[in-house]
Amino acid sequence: MTGGSMLTTMPDQATQAALMRDPRDIGGPRQPMLIAENLTKHFTFDGDRLGARVVVRAVDGVSFMVCKGETLGIVGESGCGKSTTARLLVGLIKPDTGALVFDGEEVGSVRGISIRRMQRSVQMVFQDSYASLNPRLTLADTVAFGPRVSGHSRRAARARAEAVLALVGLAPKLYAARYPHELSGGQRQRVNIARALAMEPRLLILDEAVSALDKSIEAQVLNLLQELKARLHLTYVFISHDLSVVRFISDRVMVMYLGKTVEVGPVEDIYDNPRHPYTRALLSSRPSMNPRQRRTEPPLSGDPPSPIDPPSGCRFRTRCVLAEPVCATVAPPLTAQGSAHFAACHAATPGSGHSAAAA
Protein backbone atom coordinates (compact mmCIF):
# COMPACT_ATOMS: atom_id res chain seq x y z
CA MET A 1 0.00 0.00 0.00
CA THR A 2 1.31 3.36 -0.92
CA GLY A 3 0.53 4.63 2.57
CA GLY A 4 3.39 2.82 4.16
CA SER A 5 5.93 3.15 1.43
CA MET A 6 5.33 6.82 0.83
CA LEU A 7 7.63 9.29 2.36
CA THR A 8 7.43 10.34 5.96
CA THR A 9 9.61 13.39 5.88
CA MET A 10 10.69 14.85 9.14
CA PRO A 11 9.25 18.30 9.48
CA ASP A 12 11.72 21.14 9.81
CA GLN A 13 13.28 22.19 13.12
CA ALA A 14 10.81 24.88 13.92
CA THR A 15 7.83 22.63 13.30
CA GLN A 16 9.37 19.82 15.33
CA ALA A 17 9.91 22.16 18.23
CA ALA A 18 6.33 23.37 17.95
CA LEU A 19 5.06 19.81 17.87
CA MET A 20 6.95 18.98 21.03
CA ARG A 21 5.18 21.80 22.79
CA ASP A 22 1.71 21.05 21.38
CA PRO A 23 -0.25 19.15 24.01
CA ARG A 24 -2.59 17.81 21.36
CA ASP A 25 0.13 16.06 19.42
CA ILE A 26 -0.13 12.32 19.92
CA GLY A 27 1.84 10.54 17.27
CA GLY A 28 5.05 12.52 17.22
CA PRO A 29 6.78 14.23 14.30
CA ARG A 30 7.09 11.13 12.15
CA GLN A 31 3.44 10.22 12.35
CA PRO A 32 1.59 11.70 9.39
CA MET A 33 -1.04 14.21 10.40
CA LEU A 34 -3.55 12.50 8.16
CA ILE A 35 -3.61 9.23 6.29
CA ALA A 36 -6.35 8.62 3.76
CA GLU A 37 -6.69 4.93 2.91
CA ASN A 38 -8.63 3.80 -0.12
CA LEU A 39 -11.31 6.45 0.12
CA THR A 40 -14.29 5.74 -2.08
CA LYS A 41 -17.43 7.76 -2.50
CA HIS A 42 -20.08 7.12 -5.12
CA PHE A 43 -23.21 9.19 -5.54
CA THR A 44 -26.34 7.58 -6.93
CA PHE A 45 -29.07 9.48 -8.68
CA ASP A 46 -32.22 8.49 -10.46
CA GLY A 47 -31.68 8.09 -14.16
CA ASP A 48 -33.83 9.17 -17.06
CA ARG A 49 -35.85 6.04 -17.41
CA LEU A 50 -37.88 4.24 -14.81
CA GLY A 51 -35.71 2.20 -12.54
CA ALA A 52 -32.49 3.47 -14.07
CA ARG A 53 -29.88 4.66 -11.63
CA VAL A 54 -26.88 6.80 -12.41
CA VAL A 55 -23.74 6.27 -10.35
CA VAL A 56 -21.23 9.09 -10.15
CA ARG A 57 -17.92 7.61 -9.06
CA ALA A 58 -16.62 10.79 -7.59
CA VAL A 59 -13.76 9.36 -5.55
CA ASP A 60 -12.63 5.84 -6.31
CA GLY A 61 -9.98 4.36 -4.08
CA VAL A 62 -7.82 7.35 -3.27
CA SER A 63 -4.98 6.98 -0.79
CA PHE A 64 -2.48 9.56 0.37
CA MET A 65 -0.95 11.01 3.47
CA VAL A 66 -0.25 14.48 4.77
CA CYS A 67 2.84 14.97 6.91
CA LYS A 68 2.92 17.30 9.86
CA GLY A 69 3.83 20.82 8.93
CA GLU A 70 3.67 20.36 5.18
CA THR A 71 1.34 21.63 2.50
CA LEU A 72 -0.09 18.96 0.24
CA GLY A 73 -1.48 20.38 -2.95
CA ILE A 74 -4.25 18.56 -4.79
CA VAL A 75 -4.84 19.55 -8.40
CA GLY A 76 -7.23 18.37 -11.04
CA GLU A 77 -9.97 19.53 -13.33
CA SER A 78 -13.71 19.29 -12.99
CA GLY A 79 -14.91 15.80 -12.23
CA CYS A 80 -11.62 14.68 -10.74
CA GLY A 81 -13.07 14.37 -7.26
CA LYS A 82 -10.96 16.90 -5.40
CA SER A 83 -13.92 18.73 -3.89
CA THR A 84 -15.48 15.48 -2.78
CA THR A 85 -12.15 14.49 -1.28
CA ALA A 86 -12.05 17.76 0.62
CA ARG A 87 -15.46 17.08 2.09
CA LEU A 88 -14.48 13.55 2.98
CA LEU A 89 -11.45 14.84 4.85
CA VAL A 90 -13.45 17.13 7.12
CA GLY A 91 -16.21 14.67 7.78
CA LEU A 92 -18.95 16.45 5.86
CA ILE A 93 -19.47 13.31 3.83
CA LYS A 94 -18.89 9.75 5.01
CA PRO A 95 -16.89 7.56 2.64
CA ASP A 96 -18.51 4.43 1.27
CA THR A 97 -15.34 2.49 1.95
CA GLY A 98 -11.93 3.43 3.17
CA ALA A 99 -10.58 5.01 6.31
CA LEU A 100 -9.12 8.19 7.64
CA VAL A 101 -6.38 8.10 10.23
CA PHE A 102 -5.76 11.36 12.05
CA ASP A 103 -2.54 11.55 14.04
CA GLY A 104 -2.48 7.80 14.32
CA GLU A 105 -6.08 7.37 15.39
CA GLU A 106 -8.72 5.98 13.10
CA VAL A 107 -11.63 8.32 12.59
CA GLY A 108 -15.13 7.04 13.07
CA SER A 109 -14.18 3.68 14.51
CA VAL A 110 -14.78 2.45 18.03
CA ARG A 111 -11.08 2.22 18.83
CA GLY A 112 -10.26 5.62 17.45
CA ILE A 113 -11.79 9.05 17.61
CA SER A 114 -15.18 10.27 16.54
CA ILE A 115 -15.71 12.54 13.59
CA ARG A 116 -16.70 15.32 15.94
CA ARG A 117 -13.41 14.96 17.82
CA MET A 118 -11.50 15.06 14.59
CA GLN A 119 -13.34 18.19 13.56
CA ARG A 120 -11.81 19.98 16.50
CA SER A 121 -8.49 19.66 14.75
CA VAL A 122 -9.41 19.64 11.08
CA GLN A 123 -11.19 22.61 9.59
CA MET A 124 -11.98 23.78 6.11
CA VAL A 125 -11.64 27.10 4.32
CA PHE A 126 -14.30 27.38 1.63
CA GLN A 127 -14.14 29.11 -1.69
CA ASP A 128 -15.29 32.68 -1.47
CA SER A 129 -18.81 33.04 -2.66
CA TYR A 130 -21.81 34.93 -1.43
CA ALA A 131 -22.91 31.70 0.20
CA SER A 132 -19.76 31.01 2.16
CA LEU A 133 -20.75 33.37 4.98
CA ASN A 134 -24.16 33.58 6.64
CA PRO A 135 -25.62 36.82 5.32
CA ARG A 136 -27.70 37.35 8.45
CA LEU A 137 -24.90 37.06 10.97
CA THR A 138 -22.27 39.61 11.85
CA LEU A 139 -18.70 38.57 11.18
CA ALA A 140 -18.04 38.19 14.89
CA ASP A 141 -21.07 35.93 15.29
CA THR A 142 -20.04 33.81 12.32
CA VAL A 143 -16.53 33.36 13.62
CA ALA A 144 -17.63 32.86 17.23
CA PHE A 145 -20.10 30.10 16.32
CA GLY A 146 -17.44 27.41 16.23
CA PRO A 147 -15.99 28.17 19.66
CA ARG A 148 -19.52 28.46 21.06
CA VAL A 149 -20.53 24.99 19.96
CA SER A 150 -17.22 23.67 21.22
CA GLY A 151 -18.28 24.66 24.69
CA HIS A 152 -16.79 28.09 25.23
CA SER A 153 -18.84 30.72 26.98
CA ARG A 154 -20.33 33.51 24.96
CA ARG A 155 -17.73 35.95 26.19
CA ALA A 156 -14.81 33.63 25.58
CA ALA A 157 -16.06 32.79 22.12
CA ARG A 158 -16.45 36.45 21.29
CA ALA A 159 -12.98 37.23 22.54
CA ARG A 160 -11.57 34.39 20.49
CA ALA A 161 -13.44 35.61 17.42
CA GLU A 162 -12.05 39.10 17.75
CA ALA A 163 -8.55 37.80 18.31
CA VAL A 164 -8.64 35.68 15.22
CA LEU A 165 -10.15 38.46 13.10
CA ALA A 166 -7.22 40.60 14.10
CA LEU A 167 -4.91 37.74 13.21
CA VAL A 168 -6.12 37.71 9.62
CA GLY A 169 -5.77 41.44 9.31
CA LEU A 170 -9.32 42.60 9.98
CA ALA A 171 -9.32 45.00 12.92
CA PRO A 172 -12.12 43.90 15.25
CA LYS A 173 -13.19 47.46 16.02
CA LEU A 174 -13.94 48.03 12.37
CA TYR A 175 -15.12 44.63 11.27
CA ALA A 176 -16.65 42.63 14.09
CA ALA A 177 -20.11 44.13 13.71
CA ARG A 178 -20.13 44.12 9.92
CA TYR A 179 -22.15 41.92 7.64
CA PRO A 180 -20.73 39.92 4.74
CA HIS A 181 -22.35 42.07 2.09
CA GLU A 182 -20.34 45.03 3.28
CA LEU A 183 -17.04 43.34 2.50
CA SER A 184 -15.00 42.84 -0.61
CA GLY A 185 -14.06 39.39 -1.88
CA GLY A 186 -10.64 39.43 -0.29
CA GLN A 187 -12.05 40.49 3.06
CA ARG A 188 -14.70 37.81 2.95
CA GLN A 189 -12.04 35.25 2.30
CA ARG A 190 -10.10 36.44 5.31
CA VAL A 191 -13.25 35.90 7.36
CA ASN A 192 -13.50 32.39 5.92
CA ILE A 193 -9.97 31.77 7.10
CA ALA A 194 -10.69 33.32 10.50
CA ARG A 195 -13.73 31.14 10.94
CA ALA A 196 -11.65 28.04 10.36
CA LEU A 197 -8.85 29.24 12.63
CA ALA A 198 -11.24 30.04 15.47
CA MET A 199 -11.51 26.34 16.12
CA GLU A 200 -7.75 26.15 16.69
CA PRO A 201 -7.24 23.42 14.12
CA ARG A 202 -4.00 21.63 13.39
CA LEU A 203 -4.89 20.76 9.83
CA LEU A 204 -6.57 23.11 7.41
CA ILE A 205 -8.25 21.95 4.20
CA LEU A 206 -8.39 24.81 1.71
CA ASP A 207 -10.85 24.10 -1.07
CA GLU A 208 -10.24 26.56 -3.91
CA ALA A 209 -9.59 29.18 -1.25
CA VAL A 210 -8.19 31.78 -3.64
CA SER A 211 -9.87 30.82 -6.88
CA ALA A 212 -12.62 33.41 -6.86
CA LEU A 213 -10.37 36.35 -6.05
CA ASP A 214 -8.83 38.99 -8.25
CA LYS A 215 -5.17 38.27 -8.91
CA SER A 216 -3.84 41.12 -6.78
CA ILE A 217 -6.02 40.06 -3.86
CA GLU A 218 -5.13 36.44 -4.41
CA ALA A 219 -1.50 37.32 -3.82
CA GLN A 220 -2.37 39.06 -0.56
CA VAL A 221 -4.34 36.09 0.70
CA LEU A 222 -1.60 33.65 -0.29
CA ASN A 223 0.89 35.68 1.69
CA LEU A 224 -1.50 35.63 4.62
CA LEU A 225 -1.87 31.85 4.39
CA GLN A 226 1.89 31.36 4.39
CA GLU A 227 2.26 33.68 7.38
CA LEU A 228 -0.44 31.90 9.34
CA LYS A 229 0.97 28.49 8.57
CA ALA A 230 4.36 29.46 9.92
CA ARG A 231 3.04 31.35 12.91
CA LEU A 232 0.47 28.79 14.02
CA HIS A 233 2.40 25.68 12.93
CA LEU A 234 -0.40 24.46 10.72
CA THR A 235 -0.57 21.73 8.14
CA TYR A 236 -2.36 22.48 4.90
CA VAL A 237 -4.13 20.53 2.22
CA PHE A 238 -4.49 23.01 -0.62
CA ILE A 239 -6.95 22.08 -3.33
CA SER A 240 -7.03 24.08 -6.52
CA HIS A 241 -7.27 23.92 -10.27
CA ASP A 242 -4.65 26.67 -10.57
CA LEU A 243 -1.32 24.99 -11.14
CA SER A 244 0.79 28.06 -10.58
CA VAL A 245 -0.72 28.76 -7.19
CA VAL A 246 -0.36 25.14 -6.14
CA ARG A 247 3.29 25.19 -7.11
CA PHE A 248 3.85 28.28 -5.03
CA ILE A 249 2.31 27.04 -1.85
CA SER A 250 2.77 23.26 -1.80
CA ASP A 251 5.54 21.01 -0.60
CA ARG A 252 4.08 17.95 -2.25
CA VAL A 253 1.47 17.73 -4.98
CA MET A 254 -1.12 15.11 -5.83
CA VAL A 255 -2.75 15.09 -9.25
CA MET A 256 -6.24 13.63 -9.55
CA TYR A 257 -8.18 12.54 -12.59
CA LEU A 258 -11.71 11.15 -12.60
CA GLY A 259 -11.71 10.08 -8.98
CA LYS A 260 -8.24 8.56 -8.90
CA THR A 261 -4.76 9.68 -8.04
CA VAL A 262 -2.60 9.70 -11.13
CA GLU A 263 0.58 11.20 -9.76
CA VAL A 264 1.96 12.35 -6.43
CA GLY A 265 5.32 13.60 -5.30
CA PRO A 266 7.46 16.54 -4.21
CA VAL A 267 6.43 19.72 -5.92
CA GLU A 268 9.56 20.31 -7.94
CA ASP A 269 9.59 16.71 -9.17
CA ILE A 270 6.04 16.98 -10.35
CA TYR A 271 6.50 20.28 -12.11
CA ASP A 272 9.95 19.70 -13.56
CA ASN A 273 9.70 16.01 -14.29
CA PRO A 274 6.09 14.92 -14.64
CA ARG A 275 5.79 11.21 -15.32
CA HIS A 276 2.12 10.91 -16.09
CA PRO A 277 0.87 12.03 -19.50
CA TYR A 278 -2.06 13.84 -17.89
CA THR A 279 0.20 15.81 -15.60
CA ARG A 280 2.34 16.74 -18.57
CA ALA A 281 -0.69 17.85 -20.52
CA LEU A 282 -2.04 19.82 -17.58
CA LEU A 283 1.25 21.60 -17.08
CA SER A 284 1.58 22.54 -20.72
CA SER A 285 -2.00 23.80 -20.84
CA ARG A 286 -1.13 26.81 -18.78
CA PRO A 287 -1.13 29.99 -20.88
CA SER A 288 2.39 31.19 -21.34
CA MET A 289 3.08 34.63 -19.98
CA ASN A 290 5.19 35.43 -22.98
CA PRO A 291 3.37 36.78 -26.04
CA ARG A 292 6.32 35.84 -28.17
CA GLN A 293 6.12 32.18 -27.21
CA ARG A 294 2.58 31.22 -27.90
CA ARG A 295 1.29 27.69 -27.98
CA THR A 296 0.37 26.31 -31.35
CA GLU A 297 -1.29 23.03 -30.45
CA PRO A 298 -3.40 22.16 -27.46
CA PRO A 299 -1.79 19.40 -25.44
CA LEU A 300 -5.10 17.57 -24.97
CA SER A 301 -8.13 17.34 -27.13
CA GLY A 302 -11.66 16.80 -25.99
CA ASP A 303 -13.27 17.46 -22.66
CA PRO A 304 -12.69 15.64 -19.40
CA PRO A 305 -15.20 12.76 -19.40
CA SER A 306 -17.81 12.61 -16.69
CA PRO A 307 -17.28 10.42 -13.65
CA ILE A 308 -20.54 8.64 -14.38
CA ASP A 309 -19.11 5.97 -16.62
CA PRO A 310 -15.36 6.17 -16.46
CA PRO A 311 -13.29 4.27 -19.02
CA SER A 312 -12.11 0.81 -18.04
CA GLY A 313 -8.55 0.24 -16.98
CA CYS A 314 -6.70 3.52 -17.01
CA ARG A 315 -9.27 6.28 -16.93
CA PHE A 316 -7.11 8.67 -18.89
CA ARG A 317 -6.61 6.35 -21.85
CA THR A 318 -9.34 7.95 -24.00
CA ARG A 319 -7.34 11.18 -24.23
CA CYS A 320 -3.85 9.79 -23.87
CA VAL A 321 -1.35 9.81 -26.71
CA LEU A 322 0.44 6.81 -25.24
CA ALA A 323 -2.65 4.61 -24.92
CA GLU A 324 -2.25 0.95 -25.76
CA PRO A 325 -4.42 -2.17 -25.34
CA VAL A 326 -3.01 -2.91 -21.90
CA CYS A 327 -4.30 0.44 -20.71
CA ALA A 328 -7.87 -0.64 -21.36
CA THR A 329 -7.66 -3.89 -19.51
CA VAL A 330 -5.52 -3.18 -16.48
CA ALA A 331 -5.79 -0.16 -14.21
CA PRO A 332 -2.25 1.07 -13.60
CA PRO A 333 -1.10 1.10 -9.98
CA LEU A 334 0.85 3.94 -8.44
CA THR A 335 4.46 3.00 -8.89
CA ALA A 336 7.59 4.69 -7.64
CA GLN A 337 9.33 7.07 -10.03
CA GLY A 338 11.93 8.38 -7.68
CA SER A 339 12.43 8.65 -3.98
CA ALA A 340 8.97 9.96 -3.15
CA HIS A 341 7.46 10.36 -6.58
CA PHE A 342 4.67 8.03 -7.73
CA ALA A 343 2.73 7.85 -10.97
CA ALA A 344 -0.07 5.58 -12.16
CA CYS A 345 0.84 4.96 -15.75
CA HIS A 346 1.74 1.77 -17.56
CA ALA A 347 4.29 3.59 -19.68
CA ALA A 348 6.15 4.52 -16.51
CA THR A 349 5.76 1.16 -14.80
CA PRO A 350 8.44 -1.43 -15.52
CA GLY A 351 7.01 -4.77 -16.51
CA SER A 352 3.53 -3.51 -17.23
CA GLY A 353 3.45 -4.68 -20.80
CA HIS A 354 3.36 -1.21 -22.26
CA SER A 355 5.74 -0.72 -25.14
CA ALA A 356 7.34 2.34 -23.59
CA ALA A 357 7.87 0.73 -20.22
CA ALA A 358 11.03 -0.94 -19.11
CA ALA A 359 10.83 -4.71 -19.17
Residue 59's DSSP bridge partners are: 41
Compute the distance between CA of residue 263 and CA of residue 269 in angstroms, rounded to an integer.
11
Compute the distance between CA of residue 57 and CA of residue 259 in angstroms, rounded to an integer.
7
Structural contact between residues 232 and 200, judged by C-beta atoms closer than 8 angstroms: no
Residues 312-351 contacting another protein, CB under 8 A: none
With CB under 8 A as the contact rule, the residue among 22, 227, 230, 333 that binds another protein is 227
Compute the distance between CA of residue 267 and CA of residue 246 in angstroms, rounded to an integer.
9
- Sequence-distant (6+) residues with CB within 8 A of 120 are 150, 199, 200, 201
Report in angstroms how near the CB of residue 193 gets to another protein at its nearest: 11
Nearer to another protein, 42 or 120 (CB): 120
Q: CA 116 → CA 94, 138, 200, 206, 214, distances in Å?
A: 12, 25, 14, 19, 35
With CB under 8 A as the contact rule, the residue among 65, 157, 209, 282 that binds another protein is 282
Nearer to another protein, 6 or 193 (CB): 193
Residues 95-134 contacting another protein, CB under 8 A: 115-116, 119-120, 123-124, 126-127, 129-134
Nearer to another protein, 51 or 291 (CB): 291
Nearer to another protein, 2 or 233 (CB): 233
Residues 139-178 contacting another protein, CB under 8 A: 141-142, 145-146, 148-150, 163, 166-171, 174-175, 177-178
Residues 239-258 contacting another protein, CB under 8 A: 241-245, 247-248
Amino acid identity of 273? Answer: N
297 in contact with another protein (CB under 8 A):
yes
Nearer to another protein, 107 or 326 (CB): 107
Report in angstroms how near the CB of residue 20 gets to another protein at its nearest: 22
Instruction: Residue 227: count other Cβ atoms within 10 Å of its Cβ.
Output: 13
Residues 67-96 contacting another protein, CB under 8 A: 77-78, 87, 90-92
48 in contact with another protein (CB under 8 A):
no
Nearer to another protein, 87 or 233 (CB): 87
With CB under 8 A as the contact rule, the residue among 3, 98, 185, 311 that binds another protein is 185
Report in angstroms how near the CB of residue 120 gets to another protein at its nearest: 7
Buried b (16+ CB within 10 A) or exposed e, 66-100: bbbbbbbbbbbbebbbbbbbbbbbbbebebeebbb
Compute the distance between CA of residue 316 and CA of residue 240 in angstroms, rounded to an integer.
20
